[in-house]
Structure 1
Amino acid sequence: MGKETPDNQSVFRKIYSFLKPPPKWQFPVIILLGIMGGLIIHTFYISNAVSYLSDDPKTCINCHVMNPQFKTWERSSHGRFATCNDCHVPQDNILRTYWFKAQDGMRHATIFTLRTEPQVIQIKDAGKQAVQENCIRCHQNNIHPIAVRAIGAASIIDEGQRFCWDCHREVPHGKVNSLSSTPYANVPRLTPIMPEWLSKFIEEENSKK
C-alpha cells in the first residue's frame, strides 16, 4: 500500500506551525500586526477607497488636483449625459473595466501620495485608447464608417494615430491644461476625515483659550 497523503486539516496545521513565531515573539508580532492592520484600515478610510468602485464623478476630486477637470466637465454638455468613467474607462467588458481602474488607481495613488503630480496633467497612451473607444461607442450613430476608419488610421504626414479630440480640442474640458487654470473652482467639498467627536473636542478646547 502506498503512503497516505495528509488531509487538508493536517496541511493547514503544518503551515500554521511553520508561520507561528516562537513564544517570546508572539506578543510583539501580535502588536506589530495590529499596528499594520490599523494603518491599512485607516488608509482605506481616509482615501475613501470604496468610492473608486463606483461611477460617481465626485470620486475624481478625492485628490484636489482634479478640481479643474471636474468643474469644466460639470459645465460642459457631457456633464449632463456622461460620467468620468463613461469616457476614461474601457466599457467593453467588466473585467477590463476594473483591471484598467485598478492599474490607473494605483498609479494615481502613488503619484498623489508622493506629491509628484505635474503642473500640466497629460493623459497616458492607455487612457487615450480608452477615451477614443468611448467616443466612437457613444457617437457611432453620428459617425460615418469611413470617418471611423480614418480616425484610427496612420496619418500620411506623421504616421501617427489620429484621435477625435485632434479636431474637437475643447471637448469637454475646454482649454484647461494646468492646476493653476481654475484655482478657485467651486467644487463639492470632501467629507471631513476627522471624527465628529474629535472636531467638537478641539473646538471646545480652543474656545477655552
Structure 2
Amino acid sequence: MEKNNSVEKNPIVKLFSHIIPPPQWRYPVIVILGIFVGLGFYVLYISNAISYLSDDPKTCINCHVMIPQYATWERGSHGRGITCNDCHVPQNNIISKYLFKANDGLRHATYFTMRWEPQVIRIKDAGKRAVQDNCIRCHTNLIHPLALRSINNKSVEDQTERYCWDCHRETPHGRIHSLSSTPYARAPQLEPSVPEWLKNYIKSDKKLSEEKK
C-alpha cells in the first residue's frame, strides 16, 4: 500500500503514466514513432547535416544553388586558405558562431526546399555585419586608422559609410551575382541522395519483375 502511494506521489512516474499509451495503442505508436525517426535520419542523411558543423566550403554547395559563389571563391585569392565561414560567420566566440550558422542554415534550407531562392542571392544585414567585421579582423594591418574609423559597425548599420566591398567589388565573388553567372563552373559533385543498397534493391526488384513477364 505504501509503495502504491509513493508511486502516485512521484511526479516523474505520474508524468510518464500520462505519456505512455494504453496497451492496445502501444504497438501502433511504436510503429509510427519508428517511421518518423527513420524519416528524420533520412533527412539528416540526404541533407548531409553533419557537414554543417564543419568549416568545409563544400558544405555551401549542398543545396546546388551556391555553385557560382563556390566557383568564384575557389578561383580567387580567398580560395587559397580562407573558408566561407572565415568571412561569412562571426568569429568573436564559438557560441555566436554556431548560433549564426544554425539561423542561416535553417533559413537557407527552408528557401531551397520551398524553391523560394531568388535569381540573385543578396546578403542579409546580419551577414553584412559579420563580413565587415571579418574584413577588418583579417586586414587590420592594411587599413589606415582614419579609414578604420569610417567603416565601423555603427556606420555599417546606419548605411552612412561604405562597406569594404563597395570599393573592392571583385572580392571575392565578382560583380555579377546571378545564379546563372557561371554556367560552366566546375564544382565538386554531390553524393547521390539515394543510398547504394536501395539502388541495388530497386535494380534487383526490377530484374525479378522483368523475368516474371
TM-score range, shorter chain: 0.7 to 0.9
1:28 Cα deviation after fit: 1.7
What SS does the aligned partner of 1:169 have? Answer: coil
Structure with a larger share of its residues in helix: 2
Residue 3 of structure 1: aligned partner? none
Residue 135 of structure 1: aligned partner? 135
Residues 1:92 and 1:110: Cα distance change in structure 2 (over 3 Å): same
What SS does the aligned partner of 1:30 have? Answer: helix
Please give the residue correspondences for 1:31-180 in structure 2 after superposition, counting only pairs within 5 Å: 31-152=31-152, 154=155, 160-180=160-180
For residues 127-164 of structure 1, the C-alpha deviation after alignment (integer angstroms, 9 at most, x for no partner) is 00000000000001111121111113649xx9534210
1:201 Cα deviation after fit: 4.9
Unaligned runs of 5+ in 2: 1-5
TM-score (norm 2): 0.86
Is the Cα contact below 8 Å between 1:69 and 1:176 reproduced in 2? Answer: no
Is the Cα contact below 8 Å between 2:62 and 2:190 reproduced in 1? Answer: yes
Is the Cα contact below 8 Å between 1:47 and 1:62 reproduced in 2? Answer: yes
Is the Cα contact below 8 Å between 1:88 and 1:127 reproduced in 2? Answer: yes
Unaligned runs of 5+ in 1: 1-5
CA distance in structure 2 between the partners assigned to 1:159 and 1:40 by the alignment:
42
Residue 181 of structure 1: aligned partner? 181
What SS does the aligned partner of 1:179 have? Answer: coil
Please give the residue correspondences for 1:19-38 in structure 2 after superposition, counting only pairs within 5 Å: 19-38=19-38
CA distance in structure 2 between the partners assigned to 1:196 and 1:130 by the alignment:
40
TM-score (norm 1): 0.88
1:84 Cα deviation after fit: 0.2
CA RMSD, Structure 1 to Structure 2 (Å): 2.3
1:25 Cα deviation after fit: 2.0
CA distance in structure 2 between the partners assigned to 1:200 and 1:185 by the alignment:
32
CA distance in structure 2 between the partners assigned to 1:20 and 1:201 by the alignment:
37
1:172 Cα deviation after fit: 0.5
Residues 1:47 and 1:144: Cα distance change in structure 2 (over 3 Å): same
1:185 Cα deviation after fit: 1.5
**Identity, % of aligned positions:** 62
Is the Cα contact below 8 Å between 1:68 and 1:176 reproduced in 2? Answer: no
